Amino acid sequence: MTVSGLSAALTGSHIHEGVAGANGGVVIDFGAASAYPNTGPGGFYSGTFTGNYTADVGKLLSAGAYVNVHSTTNPGGEIRGQLLAPPLYSNSD
10: burial class by Cβ within 10 Å (0-12, 13-18, 19+)? buried
Which one is predicted more confidently, 93 or 62? Answer: 62
Q: What is the pLDDT of residues 7-65, one digit of tens each?
A: 988 999 999 999 999 999 999 999 988 888 777 776 788 888 887 888 888 998 899 99
Contact 68, 23 (CB under 8 A): no
